[in-house]
Structure 1
Amino acid sequence: MAYSDFKLQELVKIFALSLQETPDYFGTIQPVAPSDHLSLTLQRNLNLAVSINTEKARSELIIAPVLLEVKQQFDGQISLFSGIDFTVDSQQGLNGVCDFLISRSPEQLFVQAPVLTLVEAALRNLW
């Protein structure tokens, strides 16, 4: 089963998770200004990504540049992967290809924990 096939209610049951909804979770985090390069890239790419109107276009033209900026902001102390197989436990359905994966490790040749996965890089609600 692909990661994107899971629904939140199923995950809570299957893995005995408890949800903690915290309003304004990132409210105390200070914003980081984007580089001039990212601002220009997004300015150039946004209309094209919206016009093409596919997940792939949004992923390549909007999400990837933002994640590259994050990697740059972290001065190489994180690694970034795109479109890789991330099988954790196939018997429990924890397998599939992630659109993007960020690891706290600077190791770029292979994935090391801890990781943040972005299963579906969709921006449908922004416009």
Structure 2
Amino acid sequence: MSYKDFTLEKVRKQLGLAIESNQDLFTEVSQPLPLAQEFTNHLNYSVPLALSINTEKARSEMVIAPMLVQLKRLLNDQISLFSGVEFSVDPAQDLVGFCDFIISLSRQQLYISAPALIIFEAKNENIKGSLGQCLAAMVAARIFNEREGQPLPQIYGAVTTGNQWKFLRLSDQTA
């Protein structure tokens, strides 16, 4: 089994997570970061194109990856960004497999280093069906950070189609 085999029910039973929905994860955001006009122009062109192609690959390459690169730029390269990398953390708990995107609070870009902050999963049309996969990878990120001596109180994740986003937060045993 791997991350992609996890459902919400498997996450709840196998990993012991309590699942809460309809939480506002952005109450503390006071002001959005300004986007460069060049980037806004890119999205205005690329989003409709990716949605008309209607594949996970198109959405990932044309919308999600550019957004995450822009985030890295806005944060002055204080984070590292990984795409399509293996993140096998705990085979005994089936926390193995590949993640579409991982953000780490590290400047180095050679390998994933702790602390891993955010897991992104790019999905074609099934956000709800992919939440378990993302949550399992978030549990793996928490274990990874703890093993590396850099635990975090919260891990974040997102499942996205490129135009719809579902953001997740893992705190203790509650998602």
How far is the alpha carbon of 1:8 from its aligned partner?
1.7
- Give yes or no for the alignment of 1:63 onto 2:64: yes
Q: Which residue of 1 aligns with 2:121?
A: 119
| C-alpha distance after superposition, 1:15-55 (max 9, x if no partner) | 22234557322022021122222201111211210111000
Distance in 1 of aligned mates of 2:11 and 2:119: 15
Amino acid at match of 1:117: I
| C-alpha distance after superposition, 1:38-81 (max 9, x if no partner) | 20111121121011100000000000110001101111110000
Distance in 2 of aligned mates of 1:98 and 1:60: 15
In 2 relative to 1, CA 21–51 (structure 1 residues): closer, same or farther, beyond 3 Å? Answer: closer
Q: Which residue of 2 aligns with 1:27?
A: 27
Contact 1:3 1:119 in 2 (8 A): no
Secondary structure (helix, strand or coil) at the match of 2:82 reads: strand
Q: Which residue of 2 aligns with 1:93?
A: 94
Contact 2:78 2:106 in 1 (8 A): yes
Secondary structure (helix, strand or coil) at the match of 1:67 reads: helix
Q: Sequence identity of aligned pairs in percent?
A: 42
Task: Extract unaligned runs of 5+ from structure 2.
Answer: 124-159, 165-175
Q: Which residue of 2 aligns with 1:38?
A: 39
Distance in 2 of aligned mates of 1:33 and 1:11: 36
Q: How many equivalent residue pairs?
A: 126
The structure richer in strand per residue is: 2
Task: Extract unaligned runs of 5+ from structure 1.
Answer: none
Q: Which residue of 2 aligns with 1:15?
A: 15
How far is the alpha carbon of 1:119 from its aligned partner?
2.9
Q: Which residue of 2 aligns with 1:81?
A: 82
Please give the root-mean-square deviation of Cα atoms over the aligned residues, in Å.
1.9
Contact 1:86 1:97 in 2 (8 A): yes
Q: Which residue of 1 aligns with 2:73?
A: 72
Deviates more, 1:111-120 or 1:81-90: 111-120
Contact 1:46 1:62 in 2 (8 A): yes
Contact 1:4 1:120 in 2 (8 A): no
In 2 relative to 1, CA 125–34 (structure 1 residues): closer, same or farther, beyond 3 Å? Answer: closer
Secondary structure (helix, strand or coil) at the match of 2:122 reads: coil
